[in-house]
């Protein structure tokens, strides 16, 4: 593997990390990968594990999340004939599962973070700490919203997910795209590298190649339009920009406009099904 970029953990530790390009899979790999990853999530700034609205960035995130929830479940719903059971891995504070439940799905969620599980419980959503509790079940739909990049032992995790899927089930996952315009523009300051929490950094090629040996194929790819703006906002803050709101808006806008031609959006949603 070749060294692609040097960056650092901007949100928690400030430690330096390197990204190496895996030419075979066309993906980036974070090195070193800490053994105690849990400690890198212990921050009030890690908003996926909180419902914080304390800062402008937090409020913006929560507003976008609210808008995205219905879009996400609609994507799932459009792929199936009858709403049955859904598993959300990395469920955070449970908001997506609440939306899925409102749509008529029987929901199960997995979230390893204690704080996030407690917040979900307060909303009436009980989450499991790991997949062991569902090992004997099969699911019509499995979703991972910005989760795959966090999972160690990637091939083993993919095997587990595929085994949990019904024969005609769907796997829906959203991940950042390191080939997007905003990734190329911000380089080492690109917030979606989010090392070391993000262990892997995917391209369209890598997703197809990772799942192909598991008899899974990508049947549809959809953009996440808001991510370009939010990631650009964080990236500008990491750079120490005083006019971060203005700059982030224009970079996010240009990223989305360029993706109309390149199809390389800041984040992409992949819909996968088992090959026949």
pLDDT in tens, 154-187: 999 999 999 999 999 999 999 999 999 999 999 9
Contact indicator for 3, 37 with CB cutoff of 8 Å: no
The backbone region for 146, taken as left when phi is positive above 0, alpha when psi lies in -120 to 50, beta otherwise, is: left
Domains of the chain in start order, with CATH, are 2-274 (3.40.50.150)
What is the pLDDT confidence band of residue 53, given thresholds at 50, 70 and 90? low
Q: What is the percent of the chain with per-residue pLDDT over 90, rounded to a whole number?
A: 80
- Residue 129 exposure: Cα atoms within 13 Å on the Cβ side: 4
What is the pLDDT confidence band of residue 38, given thresholds at 50, 70 and 90? confident
Q: Does pTM surpass 0.85?
A: yes
- pLDDT at residue 62, rounded to an integer: 64
- pLDDT at residue 133, rounded to an integer: 84
Please state, in angstroms and rounded to a whole number, the distance separating the CA atoms of residues 63 and 18. 33
Q: What is the percent of the chain with per-residue pLDDT over 70, rounded to a whole number?
A: 92
Q: Which one, of 100, 271, 107, lies nearest residue 175 by Cα?
A: 271
Contact indicator for 2, 183 with CB cutoff of 8 Å: no
pLDDT in tens, 224-247: 999 999 999 999 999 999 899 999
Q: Is 27 helix (H, G, I), strand (E, B) or coil?
A: strand
- pLDDT at residue 51, rounded to an integer: 58
Question: Which are the contacts of 93, defined by CB distance < 8 A and separation ≥ 6?
Answer: 49, 50, 51, 116, 119, 120, 123
Residues 123, 134, 62, 12, CA torsion sign? positive
Contact indicator for 209, 25 with CB cutoff of 8 Å: yes
Pairing of strands 216-223, 267-274: antiparallel
Mean confidence (pLDDT) of the chain: 92
Please state, in angstroms and rounded to a whole number, the distance separating the CA atoms of residues 189 and 93. 27
pLDDT in tens, 69-101: 889 999 999 998 888 999 999 999 999 999 999
Least confident of 3-7, 36-40, 58-62, 236-240: 58-62
Please state, in angstroms and rounded to a whole number, the distance separating the CA atoms of residues 25 and 166. 27
Pairing of strands 85-89, 106-110: parallel
- What does the CA dihedral 138, 221, 250, 19 come to, rounded to 10 degrees? 70
How many contiguous H segments (helices) and E segments (strands) does the chain have? Answer: 8, 10
What is the pLDDT confidence band of residue 276, given thresholds at 50, 70 and 90? confident
pLDDT in tens, 145-154: 999 999 999 9
Is the pLDDT score of 49 beyond 60? no
- pLDDT at residue 102, rounded to an integer: 93
Place of tokens 């979900």: 120
């Amino acid at each position: 593997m070749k060294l692609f970029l040097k960056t650092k953990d901007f949100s928690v530790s400030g430690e330096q990390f390197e990204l190496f390009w895996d030419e075979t899979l066309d993906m980036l790999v974070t090195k070193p990968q800490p053994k105690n990853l849990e400690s890198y999530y212990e921050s009030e700034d890690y908003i996926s594990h909180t419902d914080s609205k304390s800062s402008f960035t937090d409020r913006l995130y929560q507003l976008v999340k609210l808008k995205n929830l219905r879009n996400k479940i609609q994507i799932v719903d459009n792929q199936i004939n009858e709403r049955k059971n859904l598993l959300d891995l990395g469920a955070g504070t449970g908001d997506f599962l609440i939306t899925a439940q409102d749509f008529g799905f029987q929901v199960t969620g997995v979230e390893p973070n204690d704080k996030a599980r407690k917040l979900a419980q307060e909303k009436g959503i009980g989450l499991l700490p790991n997949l062991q509790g569902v090992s004997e079940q099969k699911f019509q739909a499995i979703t991972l919203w910005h989760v795959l990049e966090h999972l160690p032992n990637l091939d083993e995790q993919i095997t587990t997910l595929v085994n949990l899927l019904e024969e005609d089930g769907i796997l829906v996952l959203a991940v950042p795209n390191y080939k997007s315009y905003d990734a190329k523009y911000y380089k080492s300051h690109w917030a979606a590298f989010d090392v070391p929490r993000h262990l892997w950094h995917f391209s369209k090629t890598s997703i197809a190649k990772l799942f192909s040996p598991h008899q899974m194929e990508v049947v549809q790819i959809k953009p996440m339009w808001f991510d370009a703006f939010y990631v650009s906002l964080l990236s500008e803050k990491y750079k120490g920009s005083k006019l971060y709101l203005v700059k982030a808006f224009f970079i996010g806008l240009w990223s989305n406009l360029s993706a109309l031609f390149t199809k390389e959006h800041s984040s992409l949603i992949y819909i996968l099904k088992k090959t026949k």
